[in-house]
């Protein structure tokens, strides 16, 4: 099974900050990597698919990069509504997919 490791597990930031979250796969997954945002009490929401493609309706301050085993999610200028938990997910080994442990972005 492919194991996904996110870092950091939590971070503190301020409005306007540039934030970067890293996700590492235990083996190469080319660009089969997705990012989700989850707010408390809500279902996850797809932000980025195939490593770098912005899902429709997602603000352009979100971006993704990487391939192989290392990936990043960047928020260029943190907004109040961005305080949430972010998860990466590999879809390389479909149907057996897996999620990272999550990164909580706090004030």
Partner 1 sequence: EVHLVESGGGLVQSGRSLRLSCAASGFIFDDYSMHWVRQVPGRGLEWVSTITWNSGDVGYADSVRGRFTISRDNAKNSLYLQMNGLRAEDSAFYYCAKAMAVAGATLDSWGQGTQVTVSS
> Could you list the residues that contact partner 1 (CB under 8 A)?
1, 34, 36, 38, 42-46, 49-50, 55, 87, 89, 91, 94-102
Nearer to partner 1, 38 or 63 (CB): 38
We find the least distance from the C-beta atom of residue 103 to partner 1, in angstroms, to be 10
Nearer to partner 1, 16 or 41 (CB): 41
Say which residues have a Cβ less than 8 Å from residue 61's Cβ, sequence separation at least 6. 75, 76, 77, 79, 82
Longest dimension (CA), the chain: 38
Nearer to partner 1, 80 or 95 (CB): 95
Distance CA 14, CA 36 (A): 21
We find the least distance from the C-beta atom of residue 23 to partner 1, in angstroms, to be 13
We find the least distance from the C-beta atom of residue 2 to partner 1, in angstroms, to be 11
Cβ burial, residue 57 (10 Å; 0-12/13-18/19+) = exposed
Nearer to partner 1, 15 or 50 (CB): 50
């Amino acid at each position: 099974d492919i194991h996904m490791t996110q870092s950091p597990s939590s971070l503190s930031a301020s409005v306007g900050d540039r934030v970067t979250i890293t996700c590492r796969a235990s083996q190469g997954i080319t660009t089969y990597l997705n990012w989700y945002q989850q707010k408390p009490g809500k279902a996850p929401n797809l932000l980025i698919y195939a490593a770098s493609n912005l899902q429709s309706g997602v603000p352009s301050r979100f971006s993704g990069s990487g391939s192989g085993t290392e990936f990043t999610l960047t928020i260029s200028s943190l907004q109040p509504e961005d305080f949430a938990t972010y998860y990466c997910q590999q879809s390389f080994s479909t149907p057996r997919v897996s999620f990272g442990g999550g990164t909580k972005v706090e004030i």
